[in-house]
A and B are shown apart, each in its own frame.
Chain A
Amino acid sequence: MYEAVRRWFDPRELREVGETPDYRFSLANERTFLAWLRTGLALIAGGLAVAQFLPPMPVPHLREALAIALLLLGGTVAVRAVDHWARTERAIRLGDELPASRFPAVLALLVGLGAVLLMVAVVVQGVRNP
């Protein structure tokens, strides 16, 4: 765990391992990291917006639960992004297979599930007080 965090902050090691690839590969890896980071930032912004702009909902604490879920997801996406970037950079330099990951699938399922649950909540509320 500590070793992984140290590796994120020590670019020298990442520049010495294996051989230097075509710089365009490194830049593409960096842009993928940035796209993930913006995904995380969007989730965090969504959580912060839910917490301050949504009126209180009929289900107690549903608004807070939604905000907490989005903030947790966003923070996880950001930390995973830098870890995945470092592992991919290593793999490119060593000529290994790129690291496989279930994370995108899990994130998509969680976001989809959250959207379905919210739709159910909206419909139930509409049926109760038309």
Chain B
Amino acid sequence: MSGKSTPPGRDVGLAGERTRLAWRRTALAVGVVAVLTARLALPYGTVGAVVVVLAGLGWAGVLVATFPKVAGRRSHPGRALPVTALVTAGFAVLGLLLVLASMR
């Protein structure tokens, strides 16, 4: 918010603010999915431990890639978008493998 100096009719800063908050919500949602994946993997011994580590690395990767977005430092696209999308797809793949393993 830029306060009183904003000329009327100009949307200075709010679009950036909304986008920053949207990144924050998305990073939090990735965290929830990482925790759910790790919890599902817990009963699977060594394989499960590997999945837990992968889930943690995926979340850490998203946090690192999206940090400039969440901090509002960078407005141009950058790699945060494809990294977040592909890590998300990776969680879907990990979940699929765990569900298929539970059916055997």
Chain A residues within 8 Å of B, Cβ to Cβ: 8-9, 11, 14-15, 23-24, 26-28, 30-31, 33-35, 37-38, 40-42, 44-45, 47-49, 51-52, 61, 64, 67-68, 71-72, 74-75, 78-79, 81-82, 85, 89
Residues in B whose Cβ lies below 8 Å from that of A71? 92, 95-96, 99
Residues in A whose Cβ lies below 8 Å from that of B81? 8, 30, 33, 82, 85
Contact B29 A42 (CB under 8 A): yes
Contact B88 A34 (CB under 8 A): no
Contact B89 A41 (CB under 8 A): no
Residues in A whose Cβ lies below 8 Å from that of B98? 51
Within 8 A of A (CB), among B78-104: 78-79, 81-82, 84-86, 88-89, 91-93, 95-96, 98-100, 102-103
Partner of B16 from the list A27, A35, A45, A89 (CB cut-off 8 Å) is A27
Chain B residues within 8 Å of A, Cβ to Cβ: 11, 15-16, 18-19, 22-23, 25-26, 29-30, 32-33, 36-37, 39-40, 75-79, 81-82, 84-86, 88-89, 91-93, 95-96, 98-100, 102-103
In the assembled complex, the Cα of A38 lies from the Cα of B32 at a distance in Å of: 11
Contact B32 A45 (CB under 8 A): yes
Partner of B89 from the list A30, A38, A78 (CB cut-off 8 Å) is A78
Contact A75 B93 (CB under 8 A): yes
In the assembled complex, the Cα of A61 lies from the Cα of B96 at a distance in Å of: 14
In the assembled complex, the Cα of A11 lies from the Cα of B77 at a distance in Å of: 6
Contact A28 B15 (CB under 8 A): yes
Residues in B whose Cβ lies below 8 Å from that of A40? 88-89, 92
Count of chain A to chain B residue pairs whose CB atoms are closer than 8 Å in the complex? 120
In the assembled complex, the Cα of A11 lies from the Cα of B40 at a distance in Å of: 35
In the assembled complex, the Cα of A54 lies from the Cα of B18 at a distance in Å of: 36
Closest to A63 in B: B99
Partner of A38 from the list B25, B39, B95 (CB cut-off 8 Å) is B25
Residues in A whose Cβ lies below 8 Å from that of B78? 11
Contact B95 A44 (CB under 8 A): yes
Contact B95 A51 (CB under 8 A): yes
Known: A26-B77, A61-B103, A72-B92. A41 touches B26 (CB 8 A): yes
Partner of A23 from the list B33, B75, B86, B96 (CB cut-off 8 Å) is B75
